[in-house]
Structure 1
Amino acid sequence: MSLVTLDIPEPQQLRGGWAAMAAVCAARGWNDSAYAEKDQWLYHDGGGNWACLRFQHGGRAVMLGHDHEYSETYYGEAAEYFQEEETDLLAAAPDWWAADLNPQPLGEWLGFVYGWDGLQWQRAAYDLDDGFISVGLVDMCCDDSFDLLRQFASDAPGLNGEEPDDEALRQLVAADGNITAALLGAVVPGWDIEAGVAAGRKFLLAKV
């Protein structure tokens, strides 16, 4: 059975929103909600739903994650634990997808594994809901309304009960990881801007 090609933004198109969310979260002291390491970007919503993008050589990457409510795919030990039929998330996949499928530190089970070969996203063929959409990663990174980012930023003390300005949010995402104190300060005044800038700029470390 062949792989299924997915309509998901390429890794570089995810960076601006992911970095902006990391900056906002770190500024308010939530350092493990969205963050970047040298070879991976990580995100969780605080409710057991998460996604991780792990980079490999040659411009390749693997996206893995799980939604504890909506992932109907049970892979590996999860199938035995929940006594469900296993979904082979690596069926027909090249070997490099399996280089690092450890769900830690964000979760325990895998609901989806997607591969980026430098040109396209693909996954194994199955008809079940794997939880990717409900995790909300694409909405977080690519939604022009910035609803999720606004929600995380709206109680910044310097906003005095007002929501952050749409243009300020747009500029923070458009910075594509090149976040400055001025850009972040316009969104979450009164929080730890230095910590937020540092967290956002870590997304520039990975070669995407």
Structure 2
Amino acid sequence: MPAAMPIAIDLPPPDVLRHHWAVAAAVYAVGFEDAKVGADGHRWVYGDGGGSWVVLTRLDGDRAVLVGNDRTYSETYFRFGAQNGLGEVDLLAGLPAWAASGIPSDLVGPVGFVYAYTDGCWWRASYDAADGFARLAPPMLGDNQLLGFVVSYVADSYAWEYADEDDDTDYAKVDSKALAAAVAAGPDLTRDQLRALVPFPALDLDRGIAAAAAFRTP
């Protein structure tokens, strides 16, 4: 049989994802000390708090691997389905051999998607099952996804705890210019830029800035 042919997919390159991811990490870190959203060397992580996750691993030669799973909408069940009576999609079929290195070695449970970045393009195996990435819509994917993430933490979490009782500010209305400036800065996000998104003095801006700066690693 001929070798499976991978499919090119339309995703931003890693250096664009980096900027949105850094802002998301900063917004999360001002209020939380765990590493659910952040960077650890060449590995960038995101978890939605409900069991869905994304990990991007940077490799040499301008290569990267993006893997993850949506606990509700991923139907590929890679490295999980066969032993659990579910249809399993080979997410590595047709991808370079090095793509497997991006799958966390300590992973428990299924992988919903594996995307490999090489030669300026993202690629995935050919399959019809829903892999869950589009439904997960993580904040690093673009401005709209990041906006939703910021609103969810600033308006639905931080304002509930830190806003004064007589504060009638609509924290769901994020300043689009402030968000654009933050994204442009990415790993070089400043305290003023972060404060413009998260205007609560009790939150730890320094921890947020450090979370963004962690994405400077090439």
TM-score (norm 2): 0.85
1:177 paired residue number:
187
Secondary structure at the residue paired with 1:84?
Answer: coil
1:133-172 correspondence runs (5 A): 133-137=134-138, 139-144=139-144, 146-154=147-155, 155-156=158-159, 157=162, 160=167, 161-163=169-171, 164-172=174-182
Superposition deviation, residue 169 in structure 1: 2.1
Q: Secondary structure at the match of 1:41?
A: strand
Q: Is the 8 A contact 1:74 1:87 kept in 2?
A: yes
Identify if the C-alpha distance between structure 1 residues 158 and 178 changes in structure 2 by more than 3 Å, giving closer, same or farther: farther
Please give the secondary structure, in 2, of the residue aligned with 1:58: coil
Secondary structure at the residue paired with 2:186? Answer: coil
Secondary structure in structure 2 of the residue aligned to 1:169: helix
In the aligned structure 2, how far is the partner of 1:115 from the partner of 1:181?
Answer: 34
**Residue in 1 aligned with 2:86?**
84
- Would the alpha carbon gap of residues 158 and 185 (structure 1) be closer, same or farther in structure 2, given more than 3 Å must change? farther
Distance in 1 (CA, whole Å) between partners of 2:110 and 2:82 is: 12
Q: Find out whether 1:126 has 2:136 as its counterpart.
A: no
Return the alpha-carbon distance in structure 2 between the equivalents of residues 52 and 128 of structure 1.
Answer: 21
8 Å contact from structure 1 (residues 103, 109) kept in 2: no
Residue 14 (structure 1) aligned with residue 26 (structure 2): no
- Structure 2: state its 5+ residue gaps: none
Deviation of 1:140 (Å): 4.3
In the alignment, the residues of structure 2 paired with residue 111 and residue 49 of structure 1 have an alpha-carbon distance, to the nearest angstrom, of 10
- How big is the alpha-carbon RMSD for the aligned residues of Structure 1 and Structure 2? 2.0
Give the aligned residue type for 2:84: F
**TM-score, scaled to structure 1:** 0.89
- Write the letter of the residue equivalent to 2:111: L
After TM superposition, the structure 1 stretch with the greater mean CA deviation from structure 2, 62-71 or 163-172, is 163-172
Equivalent-residue separation in structure 2 for 1:177 and 1:56 (angstroms): 19
Q: Is the 8 A contact 1:25 1:31 kept in 2?
A: no
Task: Choose from 47, 50, 56 the match for 2:50.
Answer: 47
**1:102 lines up with 2:110 in the alignment:** no
The 1-side partners of 2:205 and 2:94 are apart by 45
CA contact (8 A) 2:11 2:141 kept: no
Q: Secondary structure at the match of 1:62?
A: strand
The yes-or-no answer on 1:71 pairing with 2:67 is no
**Letter paired with 1:23:** A
Corresponding residue of 2:39: 36
**Count of residue correspondences:** 203
Determine the C-alpha separation between the residues in 2 that align with 1:56 and 1:140: 19
Greater Cα shift, 18-27 or 141-150 = 141-150
Quickly say closer, same or farther: Cα 1:66–1:144, change in 2 above 3 A: closer
Bigger Rg, structure 1 or 2: 2
Deviation at 1:86, TM superposition (A): 1.8
* Counterpart residue type for residue 127 of structure 1: D
Query: How far is the alpha carbon of 1:144 from its aligned partner?
Result: 4.2
Fraction of identical pairs, as percent: 34
Moved more, 154-163 or 167-176: 154-163
Report the Cα offset of residue 165 of structure 1.
2.6
Shift in alpha-carbon separation, 1:104–1:185, aligned structure 2, 3 A: farther
Assess if the C-alpha contact under 8 Å between 1:114 and 1:122 holds in 2: yes
CA distance in 1, matches of 2:129, 2:135: 13
Per the alignment, do residues 81 and 30 of structure 1 end up closer, same or farther by CA in structure 2, a change over 3 Å counting? Answer: farther
Tell me the equivalent position of 1:203.
215
